[in-house]
Amino acid sequence: MTERDPYWQARDGLERWSGAPLARADTWSWAQPDGIFRPTSPAWNTALGLGHDGFGVAGIALIGALGMAAYFVVAILVSRRLGARALPTLATTALVALLALPMVSPRATIVIEAMLLLTLLLGHALITRPLPRQWWAFAGAAAAGAALGWAGAWLHVSWSVTALGLAAGLPLLAVLAGASRWRVGLAATLGSGLAVGSLLGPFRWSVWQLLADIGSASGGQVVEWLSPFTGGLRLRWLPVASLCLVLVAVCAVRLLRHRTGARGSAERARWALEVLLVVIALLATLAGLIAIRFLGVAALTLLPVLAAELSEATVRWRARPSMPATVRTRLTAGYWRPILTGVAVLLLPLAVVASNAPGRPSPAAEVVDGLPPSCRLFTDPDTAGVALLLRPDVKVWIDMRTEVYGAAAYSQVRERLLSSTAVSLPEGATCAVVPTTASTVHVDASPDAPWTRSTTREGLSVWLP
């Protein structure tokens, strides 16, 4: 469990499960007494907290695994709806998982992506499945949209933006499919219910102010909000951004050149769903050139389209007249099914056993476990997140809740930790966890009274007065 955010999110979930209000004065920091904490993923935090309460860190990993499985199940369902075949879908899933690896984690954003695909799948069903032209069909669409909007708003605040985009995209899906007017109205009703439901979440209209606060505090400070052109990130993220752009462009050109089926047909509806997914992926990719977090959204959204296009390409490749009959027979024999099934049955359990145990805490847990009782901790925001859950008696200087502290606080902690030799601590700190490269640690007002290194583990050292 090396992902750090779920630690403090689980603590928030446990506190609110015990009766704490949703928005409340911050009590976790010893340096920010006036901060107001508004959790960005309330329902997800509660699930993580209950998982930790029942099974420890393994419970957090279990909840995260369920969220990741939910996305991949829905993505495969959408892929199958688009006509994708099993083996191309498997290959595409592996590629997308690598591109969007930071988002494939125990965070609510992966579940929000699952809900995005689920909503589009529901919209596709409304314009293709036999439905009576009755008032209750519209009532059902509105209720389903409102329920999805409300649930998504509790899962993560970003759903408010996603829901508005889907509210506009669902009727567009019906129009592109050439559906009848009443089905366009049905899709619009689903979208309207979605938009209204998203505004009935925990923060109502103030969600927009919270989103603005997160953006202003995180921009330029948190890695996932930085551009892939930022120094130090280019080698890792520019290839991902370039590949996302290429994949979106190839899919877009392919769809523009091959519009299949007559208006109102199932083939045209599948084409329309692919177009909408590509548009969303394109917008996310362009946003990813500003903040790399959106590159994962682009890749995860594009998975069903890539699976469908790869499936169609393999069918065309096998049907080439120049292909020898013996090779074509082998490719169509389905011999790979028992082979892949055997590999999955034998190797996947071994991979789970051989991987890092999901019940093992982050390496930082071993460090914070050795802190004195009730000390005031200075450390980097990630390590602070681990301490908040595993050492609730310890107050931190700053953690990853950007909207609580603001951009200036993150800039200050980065400046303090940039020194590879001497780390200067803010006034009031009584314990510190800093990288082992630091040779001296002292408080601002007492540079001539260096602290003592206590313990060292996993690249981090505990320093005490």
366 near 458, Cβ under 8 Å? yes
Using a cut of 0.75, tell me whether the model's pTM lies above it.
yes
Are 217 and 410 spatial neighbours (Cβ–Cβ below 8 Å)? yes
Residue 296 backbone dihedrals phi, psi, to 5 degrees:
-65, -40
Assess contact for 424 and 442: CB atoms under 8 A.
Answer: yes
Distance, CA of 460 to CA of 435 (rounded, Å): 5
| Residue 223 DSSP code | G
Question: Is the four-CA dihedral 146, 150, 152, 158 of positive or negative sign?
Answer: positive
Neighbours of 317 (CB within 10 A): 10
458: left (phi over 0), alpha (psi -120 to 50) or beta: left
Place of tokens 């290959």: 91
Backbone φ, ψ for residue 375 (5° rounding): -80, 165
How far apart, in whole angstroms, are the C-alpha atoms of residue 419 and residue 437?
9
pLDDT of residue 320: 74
CB 361 within 8 A of CB 386: yes
CA nearest to 254, candidates 239, 274, 283, 282: 274
Phi first, then psi, for residue 379 (nearest 5°) are: -165, 180
Backbone torsion region of residue 175, taken as left when φ is above 0, otherwise alpha when ψ lies between -120 and 50, otherwise beta: alpha
The token pair that represents 231 in the structure block: 């120094």
- Is residue 302 within 8 Å of 245, Cβ to Cβ? no
pLDDT of 353 reads: 59
Query: Counting runs of H as helices and runs of E as strands, what totals does the chain give?
Result: 18, 9
Amino acid code (one letter) for 461 = S
C-alpha 363/C-alpha 382 separation (Å) is: 11
Tokens found for residue 354: 């051989």
pLDDT at residue 357, as a whole number: 60
Rg over alpha carbons for the chain, rounded to the nearest Å, is: 25
Token pair listed for 301: 């959204």
Q: Which residues contact 133 (CB under 8 A, 6 or more apart)?
A: 182
**pLDDT tens digit at each of 465 positions of the chain:** 556 788 889 999 999 999 999 888 888 898 866 778 889 999 999 999 999 998 888 888 889 889 999 999 999 999 999 999 888 898 899 889 888 888 888 889 899 999 999 999 999 999 998 888 888 889 999 999 999 999 999 999 999 999 999 999 999 999 999 999 999 999 999 999 999 999 998 888 888 888 888 887 777 777 788 899 988 888 888 999 999 999 999 999 988 888 777 888 889 999 999 999 999 999 999 999 998 989 999 999 999 999 999 988 887 777 777 777 777 676 666 666 777 777 677 766 666 555 556 566 667 777 888 889 999 999 888 888 888 998 999 999 988 888 888 778 778 888 887 766 788 888 889 999 988 888 888 888 787 778 888 888 878 889 898
CA–CA separation, 53 and 60 (whole Å): 9
**Which residues, at least 6 apart from 5, have a Cβ–Cβ distance to it below 8 Å?**
107, 385, 400
Query: What is the spatial distance between Cα 416 and Cα 418, in angstroms, rounded to a whole number?
Result: 6
Whether 422 contacts 441, CB under 8 Å: yes
